[in-house]
Amino acid sequence: MSAIIATTELASSRMRVTYRTAGDRAILIEYGEQFPVDLKINFFVHAAARHLDEYGVRGLLEVAPGLRSLLVYYEPHVLSQASLVSALDELHQEIPDPASIVLPSRRIRLPIAFDDSTSREAVNRYRISTRPDAPNVVEGNNVDYVVRCNGLPDRETLYSTILQSEWWNAFTGFYPGLPSLLPLDPRSEISAPKYNPARSWTPEGAVALGGPCLVIHPIESAGSYELLGRTLPISELIRRSRSHRVDPILIYPCDRISFFRISEAELIELRRQVFEGTYDYQIEPGEYAVAEHFTAVQDEHVNAEAIRRRTDRDAALELVEVP
Amino acid sequence: MSSQSRTETIPALEVLDPGLQTTVQDHPGRLGRQALGFFPSGPVDHLAFRVSNILAGNGPGTAALEIPLGGFHASLLSDGVIAICGPDVDVTLNEEPIPLWESVPVQAGDILHCGLIRGTGHRLYLSLRGGIAVPTVFGARSTFLVAGIGGHNGRALERADVVKVNVPNDQQATTRRVPTSLRPSYTNSWEIEVLRGPHADPDFLTAEDYDEFLSTCWRCDLRSDRVAARFNPHRFRWARPSGDIAGGHPSNMLDGSYPLGGVLAYGDTLTILGPDSHTSGGFAVIATVASASLWKVGQLRPGRDTVRFREIGLQQAAALTEHVNRLLDPRNFETR
């Protein structure tokens, strides 16, 4: 039996859709091609997930997005794999072109302290306990390594690259509430190889880069992304009385995050306010029209600059040692 | 987070020795939240777990204890009924042996002692009549150790913990026993049914690789736990040179959500994603354990047992589900 159930093409956008068996209670739908990372496809993933949720196929239990895929759980007593795939194929044709998709998307502003002492502590523990000669550890931190990987002149350029773009939560997963963020401004695309082997301790609130995704650690945990700094707690899984009054998970899929820079001392003060329940997160409800993204990306100067930076990055990545 | 405040609860047992890592679980666990990063948690062996609940007179979704390796010792604090299911092990009540796979009436003051599992199998399940009373957290009572939520304060049981149960609102349950012929059999060398994919041959693995996956006898690593059953490293040829932007190894791909029971190629190491696993990532899932066979993963003894994977299709998977449902049908139990 082949793992691929069917491959079809959307009539409107010619996007390829691949249906794969994922056990007897789930299928995995993949959109577009394996590579590269394409935000347009991720917008379509979320439009599809919402459409499936709203349409409510009988026997469809749960939908979980990825960067370019959807995992769909179903109840095989109620719905056979074949009828699920044909129902999905029909539903896919009803989803509008990426350019006319509008998704619910909040704007959340978070402070960030770059190269903070807790991140350094995590890097140092890794150096001592796991790998003393890790090429991604330069002078007790990962920041300088990430600067090199992206062919940037200095740390300040890396920081401003992160600060100048809004970051799109392409999906939530790995740990509860962990967002995987991609820049909406293509000039802010950055990437870095991951740890090898993994790091056994990462502080809660750590902001880290692995592959093309920026993540925020919701809990103290293992990790394999390069540590860049720290922000506020983004989950409140164990509820205390006043903090996170709205939701135990701060960042939902499709939310847009922007960072503002503060010192470590200021961050510690803000984190204290969160724990005391006196801090109000900066959250602005809203929607995101994907057309906005197309307009921005099609700007000649933006596009030229994004391509220039991508070329620099590819060249730089050839020169760095991969862990 | 809703609490159990509407139902009356009573203290049911006090832990004298919790054993290796005894946790409160419910089935099917924390479903419907994978898009927010939650795997379901719940018992690794759903079969023995559910049978023990039926024997104790509990409905589906009731919380009970998962006891890996045995070695659990407790003082019972109220009258009731208990049931223990799982591999063969010496269990005593006030130093008198009691049977597994059978409802056992107990009285306040009784001392329950489960020995260490020395033969085949790895996890015991202890259900108490009424079900363990812990708050529902994100839709389930299951303990999720990685995030420290659910179950008894988000952690494994410790010495001197007092576990409460709900007071059942109906009369004494029928005393039942699972006939020996219906009980699952445990072994040191398992055969686990899987479905091919989502990322198998020909686009990820070569046909030769897949044959090798099915014919190899895999050793369950000592580091296996509720997060994952891990196996010995093995180098596949792979049908592609690298994972491109997603990473250097050909098992790398752009991140997606993983299915429960997925057989993940984490570089050169195969693992089966357990109920406490991470929900997504950038590695190929080359096969997925049939839902009716997932219970076997819960009985793999780390560091000792071996596994062969047997490929089945959807129809065979449906037949296995029917078979498991028959084991879960109380009409097939003996009553006394």
Same domain? A211 vs A139: yes
How does strand B123-128 pair with strand B80-85? antiparallel
Is there a contact between A3 and B318 if contact means CB atoms under 8 Å apart? no
A30-A234-A271 Cα angle (round to 5): 160
Rounded to a whole number of angstroms, the distance between the first and last alpha carbons of chain A is 37
Query: Residues B285-301: pLDDT tens digits?
Result: 999 999 999 999 999 99
Asked if residue B168 lies in contact with residue B200, where contact means CB atoms within 8 angstroms, the answer is no
Domain end marker among A64, A94, A124: A94
Supply the Cα-derived Rg of chain A in whole angstroms.
Answer: 21
**Chain A residues close to B148, C-beta within 8 Å:** 219, 237-238
Q: Are residues B196 and B94 in the same domain?
A: no
User: What HEC string does B119-137 produce?
Assistant: CCCCEEEEEECCCECCCCE
Tokens representing B264 are: 């993940």
Does B37 lie at the interface with A, CB-CB under 8 angstroms? Answer: yes
Which amino acid is it at A208? Answer: A
β-pair type (A60-65, A26-31): unpaired
Would B67 be classed as within a structural domain?
Answer: yes
Give yes or no for a contact between A222 and A199, defined as CB atoms under 8 angstroms apart: yes
Question: Is residue A99 in some structural domain?
Answer: no
Q: Is A135 on the interface with B (CB under 8 A)?
A: no
The pLDDT, as a whole number, for residue B5 is 46
Are B237 and B206 a contacting pair, CB within 8 Å? yes
The count of domains in chain A is 2
B229 in a structural domain: yes
Contacts of A298 (CB under 8 A, 6+ apart): none
B-proximal residues of A, 201-230, CB under 8 Å: 211-213, 218-219, 221
Q: How many CB atoms lie within 10 A of CB B43?
A: 28
| Residue carrying the six token digits 């003051």 | B109
Q: Which residue has the tokens 């129809």?
A: B315
CATH number of the domain where residue A271 is located: 2.40.100.10
Same domain, A244 and A111: yes
Query: What is the C-alpha to C-alpha distance for residues A130 and B233, in angstroms, rounded to an integer?
Result: 19
Domains: count for chain B: 2
Sign of the CA dihedral running B135, B136, B141, B147: negative
CB contact under 8 A, B245 and A212: yes
For the beta carbon of residue A319, count every other beta carbon within 10 angstroms. 9
Domain extent at residue A18:
4-94
Per-residue tokens: A255: 């939310």
Task: Identify the bridge partners of residue B127 per DSSP, sorted by sequence position.
Answer: B83
Q: Which residues pair with A289 in a beta bridge?
A: A102
**End-to-end CA distance of chain B, in Å?**
40
A69 burial via Cβ count (<10 Å: 0-12, 13-18, 19+): buried
- Look at residues B159, B178, B197 and tell me which one is the last residue of a structural domain: B178
* Statement to judge: residues B275 and B151 lie in one domain: no
* pLDDT > 70: percent of chain A: 97
Residues B22 and B139 in one domain: yes
B285 and B171 in a common domain:
no
In a domain, A196, yes or no: yes
Cα A89 from Cα A95, distance rounded (Å): 11
Cβ pairs bridging A and B (under 8 Å): 179
Distance of CA B108 to the CA centre of its chain: 29
Assess B139–A contact: CB distance below 8 Å, yes or no.
no
Residue B336 domain flag: no
* pLDDT tens digits, A194-245: 898 899 999 999 999 999 999 999 999 999 999 999 999 998 876 554 444 4
Q: How far apart are CA A2 and CA B203, in angstroms?
A: 11
Q: How far is CA A183 from CA A38, A207, A214, B131, B239, in A?
A: 11, 14, 9, 48, 32
Q: Determine, yes or no, domain membership for A308.
A: yes
- Please check whether residues B43 and B71 belong to one and the same domain: yes
Please name the helix (run of DSSP H) or strand (run of DSSP E) that holds residue B298, with its range, or none. Answer: helix B294-298
Contact B289 A20 (CB under 8 A): no
* B14 and B158 together in one domain: yes
Domain annotation covers residue B57: yes
Which tokens in the block code for residue B279?
Answer: 């929900």
Cβ partners under 8 Å of residue A1, min gap 6 = A21, B195, B196, B311, B313
CATH of the domain at A9: 3.30.1360.40
Rounded Cα gap, residues B325 and A267, in angstroms: 54
Among the candidates A94, A112, A137, a domain finishes at: A94
What's B238's domain CATH number? 2.40.100.10
Same domain, B15 and B141: yes
Q: In chain B, what residues touch A61 (CB-CB under 8 Å)?
A: 31-32
The verdict on A81 and A129 lying in the same domain is no
Q: What is the span of the domain harbouring residue B235?
A: 189-327
Task: Report which secondary-structure segment, H or E, holds B212.
Answer: helix B207-215
Model pLDDT, residue A215:
98
Residue B120 half-sphere exposure, CB side, CA atoms within 13 Å? 11
Structure tokens at B302: 């780390």
**d(C-alpha B154, C-alpha B157), whole Å:** 9
Same domain, A113 and A46: no
Query: CB contact, 8 Å: A98 with chain B?
Result: no
pLDDT tens digits for chain A (323 residues)? 689 999 999 988 889 999 999 999 999 999 998 878 899 999 999 999 999 988 889 999 999 999 999 999 999 999 999 999 999 999 999 998 888 999 999 999 999 999 999 999 999 999 999 999 999 999 999 999 999 999 999 999 999 999 999 999 999 999 999 999 999 999 999 999 989 889 999 999 999 999 999 999 999 999 999 999 999 999 887 655 444 445 689 999 999 999 999 999 999 999 999 988 889 999 999 999 999 898 888 899 999 999 999 999 999 988 888 88
Q: Which residue has the tokens 């049931």?
A: B83
Of B201, B279, B311, the CB nearest to A64: B279
B positions 54-93 inside 8 Å of A (CB): none
Distance CA B141, CA B166 (A): 13
Distance between alpha carbon A264 and the CA centroid of its chain, in Å?
24
**Per the CB < 8 Å rule, is B35 touching A81?**
no
In a domain, B332, yes or no: no
Most B CBs within 10 Å, among A5, A71, A84, to test the B interface: A71
Residue with tokens 């997005």: A65
Transcribe B76-133 into DSSP letters: E-S-EEEEEESS---EEETTEE--SSBEEEE-TT-EEEEEE--SS--EEEEEETT-B-
**Last residue of one domain, picked from the residues A94, A124, A141:** A94
Residue B70 lies in a domain: yes
Residue A145 and residue A14 share a domain: no
Quick check: is B333 in a domain?
no
**B18 and B122, same structural domain?**
yes
- Judged by CB atoms closer than 8 Å, whether chains meet at B199 and A194 is answered as no
Answer yes or no: is B184 within a domain.
Answer: no
Select from B131, B153, B178 the last residue of a domain.
B178
Report yes or no: A158 and A188 within 8 Å, Cβ to Cβ. no
Same domain (yes/no): A135, A259: yes
- The whole-angstrom separation of Cα B246 and Cα B267 is 12
Test mutation, B257, B285, B315, B316, chain A, max A CBs within 10 A:
B257
pLDDT at A276: 86
Query: Are residues B254 and B282 part of one domain?
Result: yes
CA distance B67 to B43: 10
A46 interface with B at CB cutoff 8 Å: no
Task: Decide if B37 and A176 are in contact by the 8 Å CB cutoff.
Answer: yes
Same domain, B217 and B135: no
- A179 and A50 share a domain? no
Q: Does residue A237 belong to the interface with chain B, where contact is any CB pair within 8 Å?
A: yes
For A54, residues 6+ apart whose C-beta sits below 8 A from its C-beta are: none
Q: What is the pLDDT of residue B248?
A: 64
Query: How confident is the model at residue A246, as a pLDDT?
Result: 52
SS percent in chain B: helix, strand, coil, step 5? 15, 35, 50
Tokens coding A61: 């239990």
Strands (E), A83-223: 102-104, 107-114, 167-172, 179-183, 199-202, 206-210, 213-216, 221-223
Phi, psi (degrees; rounded to nearest 5) at B292: -75, -15
Walk along chain B (336 residues) and give the pLDDT tens digit of each residue: 444 445 799 999 999 999 999 999 999 999 999 999 999 999 999 999 999 999 999 999 999 999 999 999 999 999 999 999 999 999 999 999 999 999 999 999 999 999 999 999 999 999 999 999 999 999 999 999 999 999 999 999 999 999 999 998 776 667 899 999 999 999 999 999 999 999 998 889 999 999 999 999 999 999 999 999 999 999 999 988 877 666 667 888 889 999 999 999 988 899 999 999 999 999 999 999 999 999 999 999 999 999 999 999 999 999 999 999 999 999 999 997
Identify any residues that bridge with A80 across adjacent strands, giving them in sequence order: none
Q: Are A322 and B248 in contact (CB under 8 A)?
A: yes
Same domain, B259 and B116: no
- Helices and strands (H and E) in chain B: how many: 4, 21
Residue A221 CA to residue A199 CA, distance in Å, equals 9
Question: Which residue among B128, B145, B178 closes a domain?
Answer: B178
Same domain, B113 and B209: no
